[in-house]
Amino acid sequence: MDHRVLSRLAALAVATLLALTTGCTGETVQGRPGASGVRDPFFPKAGNGGYQVEHYSLDLDYDPADGQLHATAVITARAEQGLSSFNLDLSGLEVEGVSVQGEGARFNRTGNELTVRPAEDLEQGEVFRTEVDYSGRPKAVTDPDGSDEGWIVTPGGQGAVGVGEPVGSMAWFPGNHHPSDKATYDITVTVPKGYEAVSNGELRSRTEEGDGRTVFAWHSAEPMASYLATVAVGKFKVTTGRTASGIPLYTAVSPGEAAASEPVLARLPEMVEWGIGRFGPYPFSATGAIVLPAHSLGYALETQTRPVFPGAPGSEELVLHELAHQWFGDSVSPKSWKDMWLNEGFATYAEWLWSEDHGGPTAQQHFDAYLAGDTRVDGEAGSDWGAFPPAAPRNPKEISASPVYGRGAMVLQRVRQEVGDEKFFALVRGWAADHRHGNASTADFTAYAEEKTGRDLTEVWDVWLYGKDRPKAPKDAKDAKDAKASAAP
């Protein structure tokens, strides 16, 4: 059946949709349609119901000269219910064909939803393989806060990068694009000779083809949320090595940013080892960084194993922040986008700990600077960090706002003040270990913190994590003295 013809015949639209949700014969339908979203509080259409992805195999062919992407996505998933149809998130791009379990499947496009109707209903528990052939010029997606994500062409048109927080990955591959569904990945990228193609995980092979193209095959063995997947195409300067504990290091730097990036990236191996000491074993099989041409993006992003920077990183703290996300955000991922403070609060607090351990202001001094608005100690102390509670942003725009970062870190410092260093750092390491490669919510964290430390932290949660009013310093000198004593080593 030719879906392109059907899509042009408005008179058959109702019949087409009906066919997607009923059987082709008069037999009883054993499955039912999977939901078109997971009802995330801020991105209700993100992700899809009825299945969980186990593995993505993406085969991408991209030419910066014309911006065309030709691709095949093979998605291995497990049905969580009997499925008569299911959805994939995909923005733009032309779908040329879909098969499920090796048989051609009907499909329909509505907005960012690709609805697939297998030839046979899928049984609950069945592992099934969906293949999608697609092509076109992938485009950027605009976030609620006005920033661009998705597929970004770098300045001068000499390359491109795929970045996905929160939902931009649907601009370059079909999938279940919500952090609650993590999967392993193989990403193969074919580019013209002279270009590098960099992605997550480990580079399995680099092959020069006879037609003047190069094929890069990347493998991510550990589960990854789709917003953390990346592909960067450009004429990068590549450096490889290992950290002191043997973790493979792969950095790709735009030549124009190499000199400015070198001093900061030179400390990346040291930062990894420091993170292992503070947070526990590094959760992935590789580490590194991608430095794009300046002004490619308006932000850095913690893409798994290989954070992306829009030009030379301006500080050690920025690199450390994105590295800390490998534990907090990438390995321990949020259950919903409302839980973003668990990513950003921990990563900001990691900056404070790095400073504390390397002769700069202590975490307590950063905390005090926020309370006083002292930008001499911390440049972000003057931000509106008290505008809303970090665990309760009011809209999707606010998941990247100051309270999620700064006040999120202050929550952690308040826990440290209450329980002391020994219990606090056992809590941090335990959180990273016990939720490794999984998902967690704010409620999971508060329950875990009280169980791990043996302390009732209700006041911390009520005032700092959920309180609508801007928190204040301890109300009297005795409280301040007690807080300082409990925070001391």
pLDDT tens for each residue of 360-386: 999 999 999 999 999 999 999 999 999
**What pLDDT score was predicted for residue 474?**
61
The Cα–Cα gap between 247 and 256 comes to 27
Strands (DSSP E) contained in 260-406 are 287-291, 308-309, 332-334
- Give the residues of the chain that fall short of pLDDT 70: 1-29, 474-489
- 352, two tokens: 């404070």
Question: What are the Cα distances from residue 346, in Å, to 13, 83, 288, 325?
Answer: 49, 39, 20, 8
Residue 364 is predicted with a pLDDT of 98
Of 346, 353, 332, 452, the C-alpha closest to 404 is: 346
Beta strands per DSSP E along 193-301 = 196-199, 202-208, 213-225, 231-234, 237-242, 248-253, 287-291
pTM of the model: 0.91
- Tell me whether the omega of the peptide bond preceding residue 166 falls within 30 degrees of 0, making it cis: yes
Indicate the length of the chain as a whole number.
489
List, as one string, the DSSP characters of 387-424. Answer: SS-TT--SSGGGGGSHIIIIIHHHHHHHHHHHH-HHHH
Burial of 340: CB neighbours in 10 Å, binned 0-12, 13-18, 19+: buried
User: What's the pLDDT tens digit per position in 49-104?
Assistant: 999 999 999 999 999 999 999 999 999 999 999 999 999 999 999 999 999 999 99
Return the SS3 of 300: coil
